Amino acid sequence: MIYPKALHPFLFILPLALFFSHFLCFSAFAQKQKVWLDSDTGNEIDDLYAIVRLLKDPSVEVVGLSSAHFNNPDLLVFEKWNHYDTKGLNTLEDSQRLNELILNTMGLTQIPHPKGADRQIGRAWGGNEPRDSPAAQQIIQLANSLPEGEKLDVLTLGALTNIASAVILDPEIIPKIRIYSLGAKYNQQTRAWSKNEFNIRNDLNAFDYLLDLKNLDFTVMPVDTALPLKFDREDTFKKTDDSIPLEKILSDRWREHATNDKTRVMWDLALVQAYLLPHLSETLMVNSPSENKSFTVKIFSKIDEKALIDDFWTTLRK
């Protein structure tokens, strides 16, 4: 059969093909995993590297960057904390300041960046009273807005105050979230947990609360697993270009807060990269601490530290 030129089948097929092509592209974009990052950015140098790595990843959609406190007893009795004067130090505000600095520098201020709580949940002797904050409220709102079947991944680099508070305030979000946290210690040989670790000590109540939830999707990176991921100072300075504002922030952070350290463990970066690159990490389902009500919890048990270091520098330059 001969078609008139204006009615040739190709003219129908081409628009149809373009439609499906755009539809598939749109679907791929729409299906990006939504990720919320909660960071005690003012505490260390590795938080900044972890935040930058996540923000530069094209495979996920970062939907929030919240600030976390890093209140600890040393602030009450010592004059210095990581080169800060402890007098008048507001740990939440400093984390917020650095979060906003990174977002401004990267041109990403459209990403929500609310403040978190300024102290742990409960009290020094325990308890589950939440600390409401803009961060907790926005996590709740976002989780509840997700379509059926979608989940919000929440990565925490410090105390678990903000996400624990969100869950306490609205337990209905539990099936809508997955939590990935850096903290605690786990000996894979003896299968023994230790909560004697900085992030956990800054809100032990929050960690225990989350571990007591039997239906929560919770993955922990013990600090033992992150330990092999170390950056060399001179190598870092060589690979960062101070004429590029974002890279200068990273190198300046080392100069100002780890002046004499030739190497640094990039704890928080290890969690972010293990999450983004599961083929370069391993996970295990292990028994929860015996005092907690859940029976098991997932941990990151191993990372390919060399591959993760290479990945960071490659991604930074993209």
Tens of pLDDT along 41-72? 999 999 999 999 999 999 999 999 999 999 99
Mean pLDDT, residues 239-246 taken together: 97
Mean pLDDT, residues 197-224 taken together: 97
Distance (Å, whole) CA 254 – CA 165: 32
Query: Which neighbouring-strand residues pair with 123?
Result: 126
Q: What is the pLDDT of residues 63-97, one digit of tens each?
A: 999 999 999 999 999 998 887 899 999 999 999 99
Say whether domain 32-316 belongs to CATH 1.20.1050.10.
no
Mean pLDDT, residues 183-191 taken together: 98
Q: How confident is the model at residue 205 (pLDDT cuts 50, 70, 90)?
A: very high
Cβ atoms of 144 and 133 closer than 8 Å: no
Work out the percent of the chain whose per-residue pLDDT is above 70. 91
C-alpha distances (whole Å) from 173 to each of 63, 132, 275 are 16, 15, 21
Distance (Å, whole) CA 103 – CA 17: 38
Residue 168: per-residue pLDDT: 98
Q: What is the pLDDT of residues 250-301, one digit of tens each?
A: 999 999 998 889 999 999 999 999 999 999 999 999 999 999 999 999 999 9
Residue 71: per-residue pLDDT: 95
Distance (Å, whole) CA 129 – CA 43: 25
Structure tokens at 213: 């939830």
Distance (Å, whole) CA 92 – CA 204: 18
Q: Which of 163, 149, 146 is nearest to 216 (CA)?
A: 163
Rounded to 5°, the CA angle 62-267-74 comes to 110
Q: Which spans in the chain are helix H?
A: 9-30, 46-55, 74-77, 91-106, 134-145, 161-169, 198-201, 204-211, 223-226, 233-239, 245-257, 267-276, 305-316
Comparison of pLDDT for 136 and 83, the residue scoring more = 136
Average pLDDT, the chain: 92
Distance (Å, whole) CA 271 – CA 218: 13
Q: How confident is the model at residue 18 (pLDDT cuts 50, 70, 90)?
A: very low
Write down the number of H helices and E strands in the chain.
13, 13
Contacts of residue 77, Cβ cutoff 8 Å, sequence gap at least 6: none
Q: How confident is the model at residue 216 (pLDDT cuts 50, 70, 90)?
A: very high
Residue 225: per-residue pLDDT: 98
Does the pLDDT at position 24 exceed 50? no
Distance (Å, whole) CA 2 – CA 298: 64
Does the pLDDT at position 9 exceed 90? no
Cβ atoms of 246 and 52 closer than 8 Å: yes
Q: What is the pLDDT of residues 139-177, one digit of tens each?
A: 999 999 999 999 999 999 999 999 999 999 999 999 999
Cβ atoms of 91 and 69 closer than 8 Å: yes
Residue 30: per-residue pLDDT: 58
Residue 241: per-residue pLDDT: 97
Does the pLDDT at position 1 exceed 70? no
Amino acid at 98: L
Does the pLDDT at position 3 exceed 60? no
Comparison of pLDDT for 27 and 225, the residue scoring more = 225
pTM, two decimals, is: 0.90
Q: What is the pLDDT of residues 90-129, one digit of tens each?
A: 999 999 999 999 999 999 999 999 999 999 999 999 999 9
* 3-state class percentages of the chain: helix first, strand second, coil last, to nearest 5: 45, 20, 35
Distance (Å, whole) CA 291 – CA 298: 17
CA atoms within 13 A on the CB side of 302: 6
Cβ atoms of 14 and 20 closer than 8 Å: no
